[in-house]
Structures are given as C-alpha cells and as structure tokens.
Structure 1
C-alpha cells in the first residue's frame, strides 16, 4: 500500500509497509531540500556555479594538470553515496589497512632532502620549517621519506612557488598512506581524495560566515564547528586509523590575510607537569566526527556522530615521541573519570594547545613567482590547526587538500617526550 505526499512541490512516494529507517532514507535521498549534513548548502549545488566563481590561477592549475572542467567544478559526491545513518558512516574504512610511516625509514640527517634544497628556514624554535629550492613533484622516494621524518619532527613544513598538479599532490599523499576520500565534501572533478578548500564557494551557497561569528567555534565548538575552519581542530580523529600527513596546496591566495596557525602536540604534552603526565598516560578518550547522522534505531532522536576510542596520549611511530591527542571540537570524553572531571581536564588540555603562542606557528601564504602555488604539509597526529578568516572573502582563496590516513593510534609506555629525548630542561614542580 502506498500514498503520495507533496513536499515543497516535489512529489514523493511513501511506502507505508517499509521500515521507518528506509522511508526516511528514501525521503532524504529523493528530495533535494532535505539533508542531515552540515554541508547541505554545498550538496545541492549547481557545479556550473562553482566554475563561474573559480579564480583564474586555480582554473589554469587545474586545466594544466589535466582536470576536465567541462562538467563543472567542484564535484560533489552523489546523494545516493552520502551516508544518512551513523552506522553507515561508522562502517566507512572500519577495517585495518597496513601502514608503515615513511619517516621511520628515513635518514635521520636527511642528507638527500637538505642537500638538494637551497635553504632550510625554521620559522619558530619548535614548530614549522620552510624548504626553499625544491619542487614537490620532483622529489625522489628517499627525499619523500626524509620529508616525512622532517614533518614528524617539525609538525608542519612549507614549500612556496610550487608547480603542482592535483594528481601529483594525490600521488604524494598515496605514497604517505591511505588517501581519505570524504563521503560528502566537494573534491576536484574526477579526483576523489583531492578535497576542495574553498570558503568562497560555501559563501556563494549560503554559508553563514562573517566577521562577528568567524571564531565562535573556539568558544563553543559543539554549536559552531560548521562555520568554517577557524576553530582549532585536528582532522578525522573519528577514523579507525586517523589522519597522518595532510597536504594543503593553495593556488589562489589573498594578498593580505588568510593565514593558517598550527600548534604542536609534542610541546603541548611537555607543558604538563610530570605528575599530570603520569595521570594521563594510558588514558583513553572518545573522539567524534565533525559531521552528524541519524540513528537508525531512533531516527527522530536527533543527530548522532561517529564515535571511536583512542589513547589520549599517543606515541609517534617515526619519532618515538609522546604527544597529546585532543582537540576542542572532536574530543568528547575521557574514559574512567566522571563527566564533570572529564570536562574540566579536557578544557584545560584544549587551552594548552590554543593559548601557548610559543608552541605555535602562524604562516602567511605567499608566492614570489606569478602562476605558482604554495604548499603546507603537516602531521595531523601531532598538531591542531586553524585558519584565520581576516580577509573576509574580499579576495579569493582556493586550494586542494589530500590527507593520508596513518596507523591505528597506540601508546607505548616506554616512549619519551620530545624534550626528554632531546635533553631539554623540564620544570620539576616540587613546591
């Protein structure tokens, strides 16, 4: 038995003898105005609109790189492929994938990488290094391995003046791990896994981002995480094997503004007292996805996020150093303590990352050559990052991002912290 309902002038068949979850699934997938995703505005796009908005420097890079733009840009996953229920989202990549960190195989002195560069610039004492004189597209495997180790040590490494196609960027990400293909975020046409980073496009589709609310996620990440990338965060912590090396290449850069900031998880851990480190070592926490879905068994009960349990303090497989693995938006609760204790502890740990300028680097995206782009490659395991939306969209900012998923998180109780390993002083709180 069936009857027909009309919603916003679009006819839908409701089959009453189907389970309620199947009816809801049909309703959402067949009606363009319905979506449970925080990215609804971008999902119902007309890809030709994006092509009209695409900056000329970005279009040239894409076309020179063999990307077919005849069908529009960016490409959004088909609605039928976007998960609606949390169990579907949880099942994505819910299996072990072999992983060996390329940095663990590298020459510690990095002779092949440093010997080919014209200059190595450490931007701060603890975080951020810029390499001058190399093209990422031309690195040998030995240089890629040494670069992975450098990123694992320095958190983030920068390359200006890069001629880099999205396909070459994807291939580098594939070398470093299992490339993440997001089920609902726009990507380069014909190249799932090369995610499009383009707030201007979101604004054209109704994204409510402005001067007044741009940083709300840094006060209340639960309500305001979807306002953009201005809140401190770590990507894909809900994965069975969370993000490792992430590569963002900007091919259209504002003349002023649009910087990105990174903060070190090694240094955040070393900011803690010895007694507090002992308390946290071995603890586990619940980590959640940025996107929310419906519960199949309670579809009217509100949005649910994918949850996974990982160590609160992790050990990096390439450096062997301990690091603090938390972020305000997606670390839900510490296991083994009360909810009140968990909130108090986590908010303190979030502040360690966010409020210590001496463990952060702020990078200004610029090129010295017209027609070239700039790349940042960072280790998501050992960092948090955030964008600074101070240019307010007055000039275009467009790029592509490739994220390589890494190991199943683990904690080695025999591992040491960064400062401990390097013989740097640590305060003893005896009084």
Structure 2
C-alpha cells in the first residue's frame, strides 16, 4: 500500500498545491495561470469550508432513462438535421447538428439509450460551457443525483462540478514522466461509491493540442474471455476504495470533502438496460495506478494480484475495442460509466492549458446478475455498508464460506 500511495500522489492530477494561492479559506490558481484562462468562471477553487462537509448519496432506487428510449432514435435524427458517424462497429458515435442543451425529455431518454448502446457519444459545436450552473445541474439531474468529488477543484460554491485542469510550460514539461514511462490510468468514475456514475458528460472549456480521452469497452473485454474464465469470474467480488485519491489529495495540500470509503462490488457487472455483462475492475496493471480496484475478495493476496493484473493487462491491450476522443473547446463527450472505462492522455502541447468540467449523475448499485438487480433494496444496501469493514477482514476461507460456497455443500 505504501508504494501505491507514493505513486498515486505523484499523479498529474488537478488538486496539487503547486500553482495555487490561498486567500480567505479558498485555494485558487495563481494570478499567472488565471490570466491564461479563456473562461475564468470555470477556474478551479478548493474551499476549506467544504472539508468533510459531504456524504455519499444515500441509497436509492435508480430509474434508468434508457428504459424509455426509442431504439429508432427518431427524436434525435429524424427531421432535426443532426447527423451521426459511427466511430467503430461496436463502440462510439460522433454527432453533429444536435444541441445537448436544447433536448426535450423524450430526446434525453433516447440519448440515454444511444449512449448505453454505443458506450460513448461525442457531440461537436456545443454551448454547454456558456450555460448557467443551475441549467447544467438541471440537465444532469435528469439522469440521477449529482456526485460531489472527494478532492477536485470546482467553481466557487458549485461542488457538483468536477473540474479537470492541466497546464504545460513552454517546454511541455510533465514532471510525472520524470519518474514513470507513461500515464494510462483506466478507470470508471468514482467506482468506490456504493452507487457510482452512470450517464456522464465531460464538457471542454479550453483546449490545447493533445489531452484527449481514451475509452475501452468493458463489455467487449468480458466477452473476449473464455467461457471457463467467465464462469470463474461471475460472482466474484472486489473492493474499490477512495483511500489513495483522498490521501494523495490531502498530501498535496488539497481538501477532503468526504470520508474515505471502501465498497464491495462484483468483478463482473450486469447492465440492466443492455442485459449484458462487463468487467468492472479498473486501474493500471502496475500498482493499480490511478484506478480504484484494490483486491479480489476470497482470494489470497498473490492470487488476487495475479488475477487482477491479468484482467487489467487484458483491458490495457484492447486497442481493437477502443476509441480516442479528440477534443476542442466546443466538444462534449457523453458516456456510460457502467459500460466503458476511460483514461486521460498526458500529451498536452507545450505552453497550453486544458480545462473541462464533468457532470456526474450516479446510477444503480452494481450487481452481478438480473436476480440481484431485482432483489436489491436501499435497506439491503445500508446493511451491506454497515458490515463492509467486517467483511473485508474475513480470511479467504471465511469469505468463501459466507459468500461463494454453493448452498447445500
């Protein structure tokens, strides 16, 4: 854990103290960086009054808007003048001529289904960054309660927006690469929450060259595995944690909006709309860098490390189940965090800034199959949360007896 923490806190993430100034309980960017922003209202700040001021979203029965979508998608494309281009046969679609901020409720339902079916939808020429904070939050809440990030910068008084900020000097210096050979950190957003992100939007505000986002299809990743390995993985559980994210942020002078949380999730997740299974582990094969999955429960440490490393290497190699979203300052990407995982690309051009904000509605509790989905209740979730620390202390043999052993044996 110590080495994982050391690496994590060195990540080029957006809550480092460098380049910040503190005034009246608020950390903000330095005046030199602020002068370079095209849209100062999207400058990240860190408010010390928000320290431990938030809790995870209380368990709730999520209603997926994709259930109400029309598979023809006529409301989006028939008579609207909008066009779509498939990025790959299974993953990704790029859309022109459709303004996300102007969608009707019917169109929003169709959008949910389209994103779930294609994994990622890239929208060009969007006006999201110019909308009011309230209008943006209203748009996001259509798909679920909005997540508040543990550490990241946000506009002042608007913690529901996760701001992504990165800059490069004239030499393009990236200190992370002084110690590491690359920066690929596959993850599903906030998978450590008991009800993580579902339909998610990233809105670009200011871009230089590079800094694109890459996506991999976790359903395809599962379906590529042999039936024997699929059968073994089905029903296994893993722990996801916010520990390194929070500790890394605090070590770099950031804030901690919420307490550390450890959550048990299935290794293979069932998608309630698509009715398909996908891998639900994330990180980098080396020390789970940048991801949240830490251990497969019921296995000994060496077994868990070997299996998790295999799965993460498998995901990392799927360039034929992958897309790369290329940004400009009017692009919005909408994706399904339950189906795809993604990573930033640390190749920002010299003497440039990239600013974006994420709108993050949370969705249902990850489950392994349709029966678990139908049987789930908020009360059961509260009971699991209550006993999580107890379950995490079980030996592999004890975990097997309690959760995996077939009944009657």
Per the shorter chain, which TM-score range?
A: 0.7 to 0.9
Aligned residues: 331
Which residue number in structure 2 is paired with residue 82 of structure 1?
51
Question: Partners of 2:325 and 2:263 in 1: how far apart?
Answer: 32
What does 1:350-369 align with in structure 2 at a 5 Å threshold? Answer: 350-366=312-328
SS in 1 for 2:167: helix
Match for 1:107 among 61, 70, 81? 70
Question: Partners of 2:14 and 2:98 in 1: how far apart?
Answer: 39
Q: Does 2:223 match 1:270?
A: yes
> Which of the pair has more CA radius of gyration?
1
The offset of 1:318, in angstroms, is 1.8
Match for 1:149 among 109, 113, 122? 113
Match for 2:198 among 237, 241, 244? 244
Question: Partners of 1:38 and 1:156 in 2: how far apart?
Answer: 24
Q: CA RMSD in A?
A: 2.9
Question: Partners of 2:113 and 2:94 in 1: how far apart?
Answer: 14
What does 1:9-408 align with in structure 2 at a 5 Å threshold? Answer: 39=15, 41=17, 45=22, 46-47=27-28, 49=30, 53=34, 55-59=36-40, 62=41, 73-78=43-48, 80-83=49-52, 92-93=55-56, 95-115=58-78, 116-164=80-128, 165=131, 167=133, 168-200=135-167, 209-213=175-179, 216=182, 230-254=184-208, 256-289=209-242, 290-293=244-247, 306-328=261-283, 329-366=291-328, 373-408=330-365
CA gap of 1:363–1:40, structure 2 versus 1, over 3 A, is closer
TM-score, normalised relative to structure 2:
0.73
Equivalent pair of 1:216/1:231 in contact (CA under 8 Å): no
CA gap of 1:377–1:410, structure 2 versus 1, over 3 A, is same
Equivalent pair of 1:55/1:252 in contact (CA under 8 Å): no
Equivalent pair of 1:285/1:311 in contact (CA under 8 Å): yes
Single out whichever of 167-176 and 340-349 deviates more from structure 2. Answer: 167-176
SS in 2 for 1:103: helix
TM-score, normalised relative to structure 1:
0.70
Question: Partners of 2:350 and 2:268 in 1: how far apart?
Answer: 37
The offset of 1:172, in angstroms, is 1.8
Shift >3 Å, 4+ stretches: 37-40, 42-46, 54-57, 207-217
SS in 2 for 1:407: coil
Which residue number in structure 2 is paired with residue 5 of structure 1?
none
The offset of 1:54, in angstroms, is 5.3
SS in 2 for 1:396: strand
CA gap of 1:215–1:327, structure 2 versus 1, over 3 A, is farther
The offset of 1:109, in angstroms, is 1.6
SS in 1 for 2:282: coil
Equivalent pair of 2:167/2:351 in contact (CA under 8 Å): no
Question: Structure with the greater relative contact order (CA < 8 A, sep ≥ 6): 1 or 2?
Answer: 2
The offset of 1:81, in angstroms, is 3.1
CA gap of 1:309–1:158, structure 2 versus 1, over 3 A, is same
Question: Partners of 2:62 and 2:32 in 1: how far apart?
Answer: 37
Equivalent pair of 2:21/2:29 in contact (CA under 8 Å): no
Question: Partners of 1:231 and 1:160 in 2: how far apart?
Answer: 25
Equivalent pair of 2:14/2:166 in contact (CA under 8 Å): no
Equivalent pair of 1:211/1:392 in contact (CA under 8 Å): no
Equivalent pair of 2:165/2:356 in contact (CA under 8 Å): yes
Q: Deviations over 1:57-105 (max 9, x none)?
A: 324xx4xxxx8xxxxx433232x4323xxxx98xx22631231111112
The offset of 1:266, in angstroms, is 0.7
Question: Partners of 1:215 and 1:232 in 2: how far apart?
Answer: 16
Ranges in structure 1 where 5+ consecutive residues have no aligned partner: 1-36, 68-72, 218-229, 295-303, 367-371, 416-431
CA gap of 1:191–1:373, structure 2 versus 1, over 3 A, is same
Equivalent pair of 2:29/2:45 in contact (CA under 8 Å): no
